[in-house]
């Protein structure tokens, strides 16, 4: 066996994802493992893509945006992909900042209401 490739089970374990997740990522063409009968083999390219996919998900990017961003590399190369990444990251940073502000406001309101109710109790 080639040490640079991972089986389906090894890929799930390495990235702590369910088999369903991994199959879905293949279905929507985020990953394209080598197939040998029913076996799937993931090469370093797939591992790198999976790392990027999971980072993108952690940062709140939709899977379709991640897929399109990964396609830029395939079609136009690294520079185009990096330019697109900066644009996506700028937009996502703005969205995350807005979400943070909304969360801070909700926390403050909840704390204020909680304190008022607690004061009435005792």
Q: What percent of the chain has pLDDT over 70?
A: 98
Domain parsing of the chain, residue ranges: 6-121
pLDDT > 70? residue 2: no
What are the tens digits of pLDDT across the range 45-87?
999 999 999 999 999 999 999 999 999 988 898 899 999 999 9
Mean pLDDT of 17-38: 95
What are the tens digits of pLDDT across the range 101-112?
999 999 999 999
Long-range pairs, 55-63, Cβ under 8 A, ≥24: 59/92, 59/96, 60/92, 60/95, 60/96, 61/88, 61/92, 63/25, 63/28, 63/30
pTM of the model: 0.81
- HSE-up (13 A, CA, CB side) for residue 82: 3
Class of domain 6-121 (CATH, top level): mainly alpha
Question: Which residues on neighbouring strands pair with residue 39, listed in sequence order?
Answer: 36
pLDDT > 60? residue 1: no
């Amino acid at each position: 066996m080639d040490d640079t490739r991972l089986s389906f089970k090894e890929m799930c374990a390495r990235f702590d994802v369910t088999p369903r997740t991994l199959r879905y990522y293949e279905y929507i063409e985020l990953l394209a493992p080598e197939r040998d009968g029913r076996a799937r083999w993931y090469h370093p390219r797939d591992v790198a893509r999976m790392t990027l996919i999971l980072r993108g998900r952690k940062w709140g990017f939709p899977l379709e945006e991640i897929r399109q961003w990964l396609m830029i590399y395939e079609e136009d190369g690294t520079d185009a992909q990096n330019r697109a990444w900066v644009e996506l990251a700028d937009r996502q940073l703005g969205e995350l900042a807005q979400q943070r502000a909304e969360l801070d406001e909700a926390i403050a309101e909840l704390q204020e209401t909680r304190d008022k109710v607690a004061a009435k109790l005792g």
